[in-house]
Chains A and B, each alone.
Chain A
Amino acid sequence: MLHAVDVHKNYGDYVAVAGVTLFIDEGEFVSIVGPNGAGKTTLINVLTGLLQPTAGHVHYKGHDISGAGPVKLAQLGMARSFQLVAVFAELTVMEVLQAASLTRLGRGMRLFHSLGSDREVRENAEHIASLFGLQDQLGVKSGQLPQGNKKLLDVASAFALYPEIILLDEPTSGVSTSDKHRIMETLVVASKEIGIKSIIQVEHDMDIVFGYSDRIVALYEGRVLADGSPQEIECNEEVMRNIIGREPVRNA
């Protein structure tokens, strides 16, 4: 579904991603892990077309999407969320979700239609809000939501595009431990409901990584150190010691 072939990304002399090859199939939940500076966010930005790779290619559903830009990718059915909360601070929850529904339906350029009387957009937004447990906060300005809900809204607005694949950059960072699991549960349920085929996430919390992923990709200094199922990664001594910071699981 999403193929990255030998992707490099340099910033001047600094090499952020040094040849990553990655195949994501339909139905996978993939976690990208690695220490700070391993190139995780850069890789996500390249995969979502925000950055043009210095070398290499990214293919999605048969299109070469290297540096295609997020707008094009959103149209192709790829969405993303951001590491730092990215909401429209002055817009209410309802408005944020309406805006996302509008772009999905290609109605953003309607100049003289009344937004309030567009029932389809409205119901769409309400549906997404209820999936994410935000239905009681529709009138609240996004900027005034508590941190956990801001994160949820960021993800929810990406889900409102009904994408086929979604890339989540640290969906639970900056959120209390109890909220983390709530967010992840919500996310998994919502993705089934919406019909999202693949999820790629960058995540630091290893409980979440091992609890939810089908597959784990470990990045280190811009390269793929290991790529496998949680069970395989658990036994990989190098990854467990250097990246995850735990003793590898030893079982016969």
Chain B
Amino acid sequence: MSTPTERTTGSTEVKHPDGKGIGLWLKLALVLLGIVLLALLPQVLSRYYIILMMPFFAYSIALLGLNLLFGYTGLISFGHALFIGVGAYSAAFLMRDGGLEYMEPLILLSVLGAVIVAVPVGLLAVRYIGIYFGLLTLAFGMLFYSFLLKFYSITSGDQGIRVEKPILLGFIDTTGIDYLTGPFYYYCLGLLVVMALVMWRIVKSPFGLTLRCVRDNSVKAESLGIGVYRYRFYAFLISAIYGGVAGVILAVSVGQVDPTMSYWTSSGNLVFMTLLGGFTSFLGPIVGAGAFILLQDQVMSLWEYWRLVFGAILALIVIFAPSGLMGLLTMGWKKVVR
């Protein structure tokens, strides 16, 4: 039987403010194991599953950014698919109209596109919190969606635009190999690892700590001299950059862009994935993206009404397990250890 005091002293031992401790090595080992497993997947899984997993990388990257907003800054965006859409369509335009064939400039320019959109949207949206922030981002997402849908001459409307396979690292193209399950798969994996490391750096930086102050109590944060709008704005920009990168690799993975990428339910699904995996955990959103994709595939193959099942799952998570799968895992782990 543990009294509250015992528990608090216990947690100081295990979790020193630095985050150093036995738990950290274990976590590191698990993460490395996860990366190795992901790297081995193309050798063991059928092509169907690898193709199915391709959007995983895109969503994971987008969710790393989204969770900087949601988990670390306390802002819930219901329009984050906007940035995936901007990234994806930027890539599609650059390839179709600009004749650009190389992946790296494609990513950079699409991210630039996402930033250009994010600056005005962010300047306006970060003045709000809670529902208003959620609804305003939703409005901007829908604004972009209706542009994609209705300006047929530029965007081809709901038919979307076909996306070619760009040349990776300046020399890998599609000749003679299975591009998607081969080089592109590892390219995405590498990108995810790099972007996760950068995000880890950000959340463990002074900036990351300050964001969490803003999240927990913005009035108190201001009294400590923290300009909350500025911090929220930068968090918004960073999340948009992640969304833009995600959009490019999603476009290439799917081979097609279409307006539903930016529809509000797509944004809702992003938040769903974050919650499914666990927004209180750094890797939670990535777990959530994987779980969402696999679960969707399984449920859809069994029953056409997958949204009914997913709605029920989401409701259960919101009500009973708000820290998601990672929260449940941590709880389970603690029980095992004890």
Contact = CB atoms under 8 A, between A and B. Distances in A.
Establish whether A and B are touching in the complex (CB under 8 Å).
yes
Interface of A: 48, 50, 69-71, 74-75, 79-82, 86-92, 94-96, 98-100, 102-104, 107-116, 118, 121, 137-140, 144, 154, 157-158, 161
A144 B201 CA distance: 27
Contacts of A116: 18-19, 204
A207 B19 CA distance: 43
Contact of B17 (A104, A139, A158): A139
A220 B198 CA distance: 56
Interface string B221-237: 11111110011001000
Contact of B220 (A86, A98, A108, A112): A86
Which of the listed residues A80, A81, A140, A158 has the most CB atoms from chain B within 10 Å of its own CB?
A140
B278 to A, nearest CB: 14
Contacts of B19: 116
A74 B234 CA distance: 21
A49 to B, nearest CB: 10
A138 B223 contact: no
B47 interface: no
A138 B12 contact: yes
Contacts of B219: 50, 82, 86
B284 interface: no
By Cβ-Cβ distance, the 6 closest A-B pairs, closest first, are A74-B225, A139-B12, A88-B216, A94-B17, A86-B220, A108-B210
Nearest to B228: A71
B204 A99 contact: no
Contacts of B204: 114-116
Nearest to B74: A90
Contacts of B209: 91, 95, 98-99, 102, 115
B205 A111 contact: yes
Contacts of A104: 225
Interface of B: 4, 8, 11-12, 15-19, 198, 201-202, 204-210, 212-213, 215-217, 219-227, 230-231, 234
A113 B205 contact: yes
Given A139-B16, A139-B17, A110 B205 contact: yes
Contact of B224 (A110, A114, A161): A161
B11 A139 contact: yes
B217 to A, nearest CB: 6
Contact of B202 (A50, A111, A144): A111
Nearest to B203: A115
A140 B11 contact: yes
B212 A95 contact: yes
B31 to A, nearest CB: 18
A107 B206 contact: yes
Contacts of B206: 102, 107-110, 113, 115, 118, 121
B172 to A, nearest CB: 29
Contacts of B230: 109
Which of the listed residues A71, A75, A89, A100 has the most CB atoms from chain B within 10 Å of its own CB?
A71
Nearest to B220: A86
A102 B210 contact: yes
B222 A87 contact: no
Contact of B225 (A70, A110, A112, A140): A70
Which of the listed residues A82, A100, A108 has the most CB atoms from chain B within 10 Å of its own CB?
A108
A108 B231 contact: yes
Contacts of B16: 139
Given A70-B222, A113-B206, A115-B204, 7 more contacts: A80-B223, A87-B217, A99-B212, A108-B226, A108-B231, A116-B19, A139-B12
A112 B204 CA distance: 8
A131 B16 CA distance: 20
A52 B231 CA distance: 23
A45 to B, nearest CB: 10
